Every structure is written in structure tokens, then in C-alpha cells.
Structure 1
Amino acid sequence: MEKFQNGDKLRISKFLASKNIGSRKDIEKFIAEKRISLNGITVTTPITFIEEGDQIYLDNKLINIKPKFEILKYYKPIGFITSHKKQDKRPIIFENLSDKYKNYKTAGRLDYNSEGLLILSSDGEITRELELPKNKFERKYEVIITGNFKRDNLQSISSGIKIKNILYKPFKYSIKSNKKNSVILELILIEGKNREIRKLMEYIKLKVKKLKRTEYGPFKLNDLKPGEIHSATKSEITNYLYNKRI
């Protein structure tokens, strides 16, 4: 599907062919027959360029310029990897989903031993926007840790730290429960480096017992159960479209 990128223009014949209106030869024929108009003016050449916001009509019927997209929320269970391809014979999330989602892109991976919210979309630009750190979409996690927990140690790394030449950005945290055998934390990150939370906790001599993502930007896990997949709510999608930065 041809899509507009940062104000780019597209040739009308190429765009309409990508919308399955017909082949390029068909489009050229429609133009020759004066059946296509652009913003109220009859199109006379197939090399006419269009841009986002234009109105195209075929036989006086409006053609939707913006492609349809779908955003889904999936509760990834423990024991699956976030990938389209198998690795080390471990099951992948798409084995657990309908075939109609097999080409969907994911935003924010969760490792084999982690669970919680994954965003899937039919539009790869959406998942890319969600993942880019510069867009500052927050990821919220519930983390259960074991070991000799000291708040000062957590505070010291929350302002950002470099571990083995990898820079981890500042994060926010709150302590939900502090018991002798385990501590429950809520962590909020704005990026998702590989196994980031596990590496941060390991750095301060703590072990992650459970890691669950509960929110990603405006999207919330809410009452989803492991393995369930639901469409994002209208308000979540509206908030995403309002807050996206590219």
C-alpha cells in the first residue's frame, strides 16, 4: 500500500493502483475517459501528483486517501518469544494467534519469561512510532523482585546509568509492596532496550521474579487475560493519534 511520508506527494495512477481501484493501465483509461477528479477538477494526465488531504473521486464517488489500520492489544503469556520466526525451538506469539494476524507488526518486545501488554498493528508505521524513544511513549511495568532491596540503590540508577557501555535512560518508579521475601515495584520507562529491566535490577544485585507490562503509551492491559487479544478502544486510539509526535 502506497502511503504518504512526511508531506511527500504520490503519483495519482500509482496510488489508485495500490488501492486496488484497477491496474495502472485501467487508471490511465479512467483518466482518458474523464472519470477521475481531484479536488473538484477533472484529472487529464496520469502523472498528476496528490498529497495527503486531497479529495479524489472516481465516477463521483470519494476514494479514501488514508489507509485503514487496526491496533490490537495482546496479553503475551510467559513462555513465548516476540518474533515472527522461531528461535532455539521456542514457541512464538504468532503460533498462539489467528493466521489473519501473522503479518502484523509488534511494538515493544517482551522476552520469553515476561508477560503483559503487546501492541500489534496492521500498519508498521504505528508500531515504529510507538517504539521510537524520541516520541516518549511511556511503558509501565509491574515488577516483583527478590534479593537485598535497598531503595537508595534503586534511586541511584533511576536517573540513568551506563552498564557495559550501554546507556539506560532515566526511569520513574514507585514501591507498591516491600516485604521480607519480595518487593513489588512499578517502573515507567520511555524506551525498551533488550532485557532492560532485568539488567538494571541485576546491576543492583536483585533478581526479577515476575515482569508484566501493564501500559504502553495510551494503551492499557486492563482486564485482558494471558493469550487474549482485543481491539484498542476508541479513546486509546484517539489519545494515540493526538499524542503521536511524527
Structure 2
Amino acid sequence: MQERLQKILSQAGVASRREAEKIILDGRVKVNGEVVAELGSKADPDNDVITVDGKAIVVAENRVVILLYKPVGYMTTMKDPEGRPIVTDLLKGVKERVYPIGRLDYNTEGLLLLTNDGELANTLMHPSHEVDKGYLVRVSGKVSEEQIGKLTEGVELEDGMTAPAKVAPVSESEHNSWISITIHEGRYRQVRRMCEAVGLSVVRLKRSRYDFLEIGDLKPGNFRFLAPEEVTRLKRKVYAGSGRAPRKTGIVARRQPSSPSPGGRGRGGGGGRPGGKPRG
């Protein structure tokens, strides 16, 4: 079935629809060897050979979304020039070629979504949708009300003022404290930099929530497939108020492989239960 080229590029994860339009206008797209540089042009992703900058694109027939507990010590990329482990190494038994929605840095653990649905990935990562992301943060020493107040109001970083965050104390011990921080921005190492800006030293950082999705009782390295209704709920969230109706998910129900992880391979450091309340 023929579809607009910008939609095909978006579904393949090449770019958002708006960015795909520019790629087409720049003459970077070919269909069956012929340059197509007009918006509104259509192609059949099942029968036509579509390339961007000479590289063929593939639109996944069966779209999946995976919720992974990323351990510390894994890169959120598709390859690493230094040869460090990457998150897709953990997806044993997954046949689809999926890629991360956003990133968690090497020393951060927790909830990471991966998918082969390019349009969904681009939509969720777009800053205009302000998807809440919740973190549990263990810091050295005690946290003052003044520090919590500054984080809540927003702090000045080298790339500008952060948006207000939701911050609350969780637990406290003699040497460490746990706080929860919820943000909707996606800047590089943002939570760590926010804490450093108010004088807090981060010992452990774990993303525990992405919008309504929670990490639950997953252990480091384990994962599960999202159910179609969960994907639909995500889409309704990001399309709300945009005037666009959620596209049918195309998500297939999948059973998680019986041995999805290396078992206890996570190197998150101690001091908290992966699915429960952190210990100080």
C-alpha cells in the first residue's frame, strides 16, 4: 500500500515527519533509484526500494516496544567504538532490531524504552510533549530544604535554566540520602548536573518511571514487552492537544523470553532494592 514518503521515513526511524520533509526537499531520498524531492510523493514500503543518502530503509512489519532495566555499565547506543557493552546485548531472544528511545548515560541505571517504531520514538523524544521521567537519586550526606527548594524551582546550568522539577525526600541514613526527582526535559546528564549545581554529590542514579510506566520488580538486565494498550496510552498522552489522532499501534503482543538477561549481571552498586523503596 502506498503511503506518503515523510510518513514512511518517520515510521522507519529516520527522522520526525517535519525533519523527513526537509530530507525529501533536499533531494536525499530515492525511490527505486530515482530522486524524489516533492512533498506529497508516495511509495509502497513493501515493494519499493527507498533509500536515504544511499542507504536503504526498512519499515518494521511487527512493531514492538520493550521496557528494559538498564544496568550500570552499558551504553545506550547501537554500537560503541570503545567496545563497551550496549543495551541491546541484553535483549536475548528479541528478533526485531530495536533502538533506544532517548538515552541513559553509562553510570545511570533504570527504565529504558526501546522500539522499532520510528514514529513513536520521534514523537516521545520531541521536547514539546514534556513526558515526565522520574528518578531515584542517592547522594552523599544529608539534603537540606534549601537544596530541595532550588531543585524544585529550577537551577542554572551551562546550557540554561532548567524547568521546575518535582523533588521530594525519600529516606535518610547516617552517610547517604535518597531523593526523588521528576523532570520532563531531556538534557545531557541533566539530573546529575542539577544535583551538582546545588552542592549534592550523586552516588547512584536510577530512572524509575517514564510517564505512567514504572520499573516495577524488574531486575537489572531484565526486560518486558509493552502490551498494545500501554502503547496506545503512551500515544494518547503525547498526541493530546496536538489535533492529531493516535495512529493504530501495530504493536504485537509478545511473550518475554524465559532467560532475557545474564542474571544478576547488573552493576548498580547496592543501597537499594531494584523494584522497591531505596535503602539509605
Normalising by structure 2, what TM-score? Answer: 0.63
> 2:131 matched to 1:104?
no
Match of 2:83 in 1: 89
- Checking the alignment, whether the CA contact within 8 Å between 1:147 and 1:205 is kept in structure 2 is no
- What is the SS of the residue equivalent to 1:226? coil
Per-residue CA deviations over 1:201-220 (Å, capped at 9, x if unaligned) read 11122111111111112322
Tell whether the 8 Å contact from 2:136 to 2:180 is kept in structure 1 after alignment: yes
Q: Which residue type is aligned with residue 19 of structure 1?
A: D
Q: Choose between structure 1 and 2: higher strand proportion.
A: 1
- Displacement of 1:135 in angstroms is 0.2
Q: Which amino acid aligns with 2:154?
A: G
Q: Pick one of 222, 226, 229 that aligns with 2:223.
A: 229
Q: For each residue in 1:174-217, what CA deviation from the matched residue of structure 2 results, as whole angstroms up to 9, or x when unmatched? A: 11113331111111110121111111111122111111111112
- Percent identity for Structure 1 against Structure 2: 26
2:107 corresponds in structure 1 to 113
Query: What is the one-letter code of the residue matched to 1:227?
Result: G
Q: Are 1:137 and 2:131 an aligned pair?
A: yes
Are the structure 2 counterparts of residues 10 and 103 from structure 1 closer, same or farther at C-alpha, using a change threshold of 3 Å?
same
Contact 1:175 1:185 (8 Å CA) reproduced:
yes
**Quick check: 92-101 or 216-225, which moved more?**
92-101
Structure 2 SS opposite 1:156: helix
> Helix, strand or coil for the counterpart of 1:194?
coil
Paired amino acid for 1:124: G
- Letter of the 2:46 partner, please give it: K
Structure 1 distance, partners of 2:188, 2:205, is 14
Deviations for 1:16-69, whole angstroms, at most 9, x for unmatched residues?
xx124x88xxxxxxxxxxxxxxxxxxxxxxxxxxxxxxxxxxxxxxxxxx9642
Amino acid at match of 1:122: N
Unaligned runs of 5+ residues in structure 2 are 8-16, 19-38, 50-59, 243-280
Partner Cα separation in structure 1 for residue 208 and residue 164 of structure 2: 19
> Is the 2:150–2:198 Cα contact (8 Å) retained in structure 1?
no
CA RMSD across the alignment = 2.8
Residues 1:197 and 2:191 aligned together: yes
Which residue of the partner structure matches residue 156 of structure 2?
A: 162
SS in 2 for 1:187: strand
Q: Deviations over 1:157-176 (max 9, x none)?
A: 32222222433221101111
TM-score (norm 1): 0.71
Cα distance, 1:148 vs structure 2: 4.5
Q: What is the rounded CA distance, in whole Å, between the counterparts of 1:175 and 1:148 in structure 2?
A: 10
- C-alpha contact (below 8 Å) 1:159/1:170 kept by paired residues: yes
Counterparts of 1:88 and 1:237 in 2: how far apart (Å)? 34
1:80 maps to: 74
